[in-house]
Structures are given as C-alpha cells and as structure tokens.
Amino acid sequence: MKRIYLLFILLCISSCSQDRKDNIRRAVERSVVAENKPEADLSRLKIKAKEALEFCTSKNLNRDFCILIDMSLHSGVNRFFVWDFKNNKISKKYLVGHGCGFNSWSKDDSKANPKFSNEDGSHLSSLGKYKLEGRGYSEWGINIKYLMHGLEETNSNALKRFIVFHSWNLMSDEEVFPKGSPEGWGCPTVSNNAMREIDPMIQKSGKPVLMWIYH
C-alpha cells in the first residue's frame, strides 16, 4: 500500500513539473513572438501621407482620407491604414492580403516576402497609386467591390487584370502573426467586417479615394 501511495505522489510531482515546464515554454514562445512582431513605422507613414495629400490635391481626389498599404510589413500584422488627412493620423487599420504568384492560392507562403508584378496572369499584386472609383457586385466576401484604376506604370494593367478591392471570408479581423493572411490572385483583400466599415466611408466620399500600395 505504501508503495502505491509513494508511486502516486511521484506521478503527481512529475505531472506538476511537466505542466510547469509546458507553461514556461508557452510563455517563452509568446514572448519571442511579441518581440519579433513587426509594426508600422509611424514616421514613414506620415511621410507617405504628406505625399499622398499633395497627390490627391493635384489629381482632385478625396482630401479627407486615403488608404495606405505598406507591403513591406508581414501579412499577419495590420498594414492597411485609413489615414485621416485632417487630423494627420491613422483612423483605422486592418489586415490585407496580397497576390500568391506561383505559390498556393489561399495559403500564406509569401507572408514575409511578397513579390509584385503588373503582368496579366502573374497572380501578384501591383505597387503604386490607385483611384478607387466604381462600386459593384463581388462574388467574394460581402459582395462589394471597388474598381482600382492604376495611375502609374507599375499598376497600369489593374483593370485589365480584374484587380479590385474586395473582402474575403478567409481574412481575419485580428492580427494572426506569426501566421500570414491568405493570398489570392493579386487583389488587396480585407475581412468582411473591415469592408463593412470602409465601404460607407468610400460611398460618402464626394470624390474618388486614393489607395496607395507601396513596399
């Protein structure tokens, strides 16, 4: 009987010790993820926003807000920013997907190192400034899309490539780092709830809205 009791005690100690080790390991893993998690450079965003406002003024685009997408950031962190020109700050931020290229559709193979192209059939996103103008029906997400008119040589084929701004059921509302966002065929995609917030802003805009995708 004593042997059984001692064995029981040893098992309990061993189990508690293992639980403690697991808890320590998980805490260390969370700490490492938090330490390595990239964040947007606010000073860089402000520089981009200043240039964006000058561009909007020269092209007669909306001067209340614009959309800045920093593709240099990991796709598992917020890198889609609605910039408030009047208050010179971020008003909203979300995850956004990019094109998969030759990688698997809907996976996150290029989450930290996306490639870009203006070529039809590349399945890659295109860098540059876009004019969001033309709201229509989408088969994806909440069935809303905005046409993206490429305004530079790097994105001049956007309409021809059917690159549009829409939501996608697979996109998360919250950051998923160290995982990445699902990758499509080149469209900048946001979550359904994100689109529900952005869509009214664009609809109320008296002028086309600037979306600037940069790296």
The confidence score (pLDDT) of residue 1 equals: 46
Alpha-carbon distances, residue 38 vs 26, 112, 146, 149, 160 (angstroms) = 20, 10, 29, 30, 34
Alpha-carbon distances, residue 36 vs 30, 32, 144 (angstroms) = 10, 6, 35
C-alpha 66/C-alpha 115 separation (Å) is 24
The confidence score (pLDDT) of residue 6 equals: 39
The confidence score (pLDDT) of residue 20 equals: 55
Q: Which residues contact 160 (CB under 8 A, 6 or more apart)?
A: 120
The confidence score (pLDDT) of residue 22 equals: 52
C-alpha 191/C-alpha 78 separation (Å) is 12
Give the predicted TM-score (pTM) of the model. Answer: 0.85
Backbone angles phi, psi at 82, to 5 degrees: -90, 115
10-residue mean pLDDT series, the chain (215 residues): 43 49 46 72 97 98 98 98 98 98 98 98 98 98 98 98 98 98 98 98 97 98
Q: Is residue 100 a contact partner of residue 110, using CB atoms and an 8 Å limit?
A: yes
The confidence score (pLDDT) of residue 34 equals: 53
The confidence score (pLDDT) of residue 70 equals: 98
The confidence score (pLDDT) of residue 24 equals: 44
Q: Which residue shows structure tokens 């561009």?
A: 55
